């Protein structure tokens, strides 16, 4: 197994990695390129762990201890990342409070390795096709003159 095929350490949300077959951005890409919506396009993290800072100190300490016990062996550098829903401001009942997700560093799963390798192959194939087209164009324009 080459170094490229080995699982790498990645920073991700704590949760379950899943393959997603259709992402909203792919609708835009499908108009420009031929994207197959039945083919998995990305890996997402499902069941993200969150914490509410207004939950009370005792509950927070208990929750943080549970997170450390549950994920401490699999993940390193556990921390919280905040996200604010930007479209929230247009909702009448929006509080625009950030959501705090548990984030950490771990080794890629088999799903993520396979997905990364497939993306690298597709990217390399696209580069080679573009270079081949450029070569053919220049060859047609200049012939074998070197």
Listed by start position, the domains of the chain span 9-107, 108-146
Q: From the centroid of its chain, how far is CA 87? A: 21
Q: How far apart are CA 119 and CA 40, in angstroms?
A: 11
More confident: 16 or 118: 118
Which token pair is 47? 């069941």
- 130 pLDDT above the threshold of 80: yes
- 141 pLDDT above the threshold of 60: yes
- 106: exposed, middle or buried (C-beta count within 10 Å: 0-12, 13-18, 19+)? buried
pLDDT digits (tens, 9 = 90+) for 41-86: 566 677 788 888 888 889 989 988 998 898 888 888 888 888 776 6
């Amino acid at each position: 197994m080459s170094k490229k095929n080995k699982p790498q350490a990645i920073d991700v949300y704590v949760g379950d990695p899943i393959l997603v077959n259709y992402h909203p951005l792919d609708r835009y890409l499908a108009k420009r390129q031929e994207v197959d919506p039945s083919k998995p396009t990305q890996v997402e993290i499902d069941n993200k762990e969150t914490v509410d800072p207004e939950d009370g100190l005792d509950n927070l300490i208990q929750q943080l201890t549970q997170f450390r016990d549950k994920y401490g062996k699999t993940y390193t550098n556990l921390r919280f990342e905040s996200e604010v829903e930007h479209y929230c401001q247009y909702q009448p009942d929006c509080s625009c409070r950030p959501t705090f997700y548990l984030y950490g560093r771990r080794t890629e799963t088999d799903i993520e390795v396979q997905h990364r390798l497939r993306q690298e192959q597709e990217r390399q194939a696209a580069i080679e096709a573009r270079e081949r087209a450029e070569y053919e164009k220049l060859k047609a324009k200049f012939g074998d003159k070197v």
